[in-house]
Amino acid sequence: MPLGEFELIRRFFAPAAGHRPDVALGIGDDAAVLRVPAGVELAVTTDTLVAGIHFPPDTAPDAIGHKSLAVSLSDLAAMGAEPAWATLALTVPGVDATWLAAFARGLSALASAHGVALVGGDTTRGPLSITMQALGFLPAGRALRRSGARPGDDLYVTGTLGDAGLALAGLQGRRIVPEDALQALRRRLDTPQPRVAEGLALRDLAVAAIDVSDGLLGDVGHLARASGVGVTIQVDGLPVSDLYRVHMGAECPWDLALTAGDDYELCFAAPAAQAHAVAERFAALRTSVTRIGSVYSGSGVRCQRRDGSAYTPGGTGYDHFAGPVS
């Protein structure tokens, strides 16, 4: 018997509802009813994932479920927000119970890892597309914006850059990557881990932050513009994985780390006087953090080699309407 819309929602998405006492009414009515604690501001973000654009068409359904929430949690992390609730607008070509079960499993696992309750959504038929909205809590007036960087601040990034971009380049045949390395790199592309704890830890340390989703260079450009400052990135010090180092080869080793998307790391500015506190805070989290540059009075983003010479990357980051520039 074909699965009806309501049975589908009950079977696959009710398990992601979780058990949060601040959900007065979750999945099942015309709208969710949520209790916002006193003194809290809500951070709200929405992202759409389209098959073939935001993930390769052959991506495993549980990875698609994971990634559809991960990208939104990454946005909340960049605001310093604590994730609480999510809604899901899902468009699927048909009812494929195996696909839906795997998608929901990936989504539910990440939701429960971060204590997020799925409180509602919409389910329609059409070409595969997933729109996730996530809502998170912020102490009133304490959002980590893009606009707070000042001349003299240091610029940092968490984790490593470029693995997801290298995976995509390998899958698309733009670079030759051996199969075992490709599998490992692909985990970064398919199941990014949003830096939620790191975002919370940055609340009283960072003065500006952004998540790196469309390529470091472009995203740092957004932060610089919003803050009305210029940023210098020291390319020799960019954090990359061992796999990246090995498989990018000698020529243009930084370009994917600078311009490829899907890293979902946090990039932030902090006053130079906080350098010790930043190092300590991230050591406690067991997350690597690297100072990648500095903020100056001016505008734009410039890349520099160790000897002070300018470095011109072979691309500028991903823009859905302009397309990749390379």
Sites of contact with ligand ADP (CB under 6 A): 9, 13, 27-30, 88, 90, 118, 120-123
**Residue 213 CB, nearest approach to ligand ADP (Å):** 23
**Bridge partner list, 157:** 267, 290
Site stretch for Mg ion (CB under 5 A), options 16-24, 119-127, 232-240, 271-279: 119-127
Given Mg ion, ligand ADP, none, residue 90, with its beta carbon under 5 to 8 Å by kind, binds ligand ADP
Q: Three-state SS for 323?
A: coil
> In this structure, are strands 23-25 and 33-34 parallel, antiparallel, or unpaired?
antiparallel
Phi, psi of 226 (to 5 degrees): -65, -30
Under the binding rule (CB under 5 A), the answer on residue 5 touching Mg ion is no
Given ligand ADP, Mg ion, none, residue 29, with its beta carbon under 5 to 8 Å by kind, binds ligand ADP
**Residue 231 CB, nearest approach to Mg ion (Å):** 43
Kindly report the length of the chain. 326
Name the residue nearer to ligand ADP (CB basis): 30 or 58: 30
**Residue 122 CB, nearest approach to Mg ion (Å):** 4
**Residue 14 CB, nearest approach to Mg ion (Å):** 15
**Residue 11 CB, nearest approach to ligand ADP (Å):** 11
Q: Three-state SS for 68?
A: helix
Name the residue nearer to ligand ADP (CB basis): 27 or 155: 27
CA angle 54, 122, 52 (to 5 degrees): 15
Under the binding rule (CB under 5 A), the answer on residue 122 touching Mg ion is yes
Given ligand ADP, Mg ion, none, residue 304, with its beta carbon under 5 to 8 Å by kind, binds none
Name the residue nearer to Mg ion (CB basis): 122 or 319: 122
Q: Helices in the chain by DSSP H: which ranges?
A: 5-8, 61-78, 97-113, 163-171, 179-190, 196-201, 216-227, 242-248, 255-259, 275-285
Site stretch for Mg ion (CB under 5 A), options 120-128, 150-158, 209-217, 226-234: 120-128
Name the residue nearer to ligand ADP (CB basis): 104 or 209: 104
Under the binding rule (CB under 5 A), the answer on residue 22 touching Mg ion is no
Given ligand ADP, Mg ion, none, residue 28, with its beta carbon under 5 to 8 Å by kind, binds ligand ADP
CA angle 212, 218, 219 (to 5 degrees): 35
Name the residue nearer to Mg ion (CB basis): 25 or 176: 25
**Residue 6 CB, nearest approach to ligand ADP (Å):** 7
Kindly write down the DSSP assignment for every residue of 38-51, as one continuous string: TTEEEEEEEEEEEB
Among residues 302, 301, 238, 291, the alpha carbon closest in space to that of 269 is found at 291
Name the residue nearer to Mg ion (CB basis): 27 or 164: 27
146 in Cβ contact with 210 (< 8 Å): yes
In the complex, which residue's CB is closest to Mg ion?
A: 122
CB environment 130-165: b (16+ within 10 A), e (fewer): bbbbbbbbbeeeebbbbebbeeebbbbbbbbbbbbb
Report the C-alpha gap between 172 and 134 in whole angstroms: 31
Name the residue nearer to ligand ADP (CB basis): 91 or 193: 91
199 in Cβ contact with 80 (< 8 Å): yes
Site stretch for Mg ion (CB under 5 A), options 116-124, 143-151, 171-179, 304-312: 116-124
Cβ-Cβ contacts under 8 Å for 203 (sequence gap 6 or more): 80, 139, 142, 144
Under the binding rule (CB under 5 A), the answer on residue 204 touching Mg ion is no
Given Mg ion, ligand ADP, none, residue 168, with its beta carbon under 5 to 8 Å by kind, binds none
Instruction: Please report, as ranges, the residues that interact with Mg ion according to CB under 5 A.
Output: 122
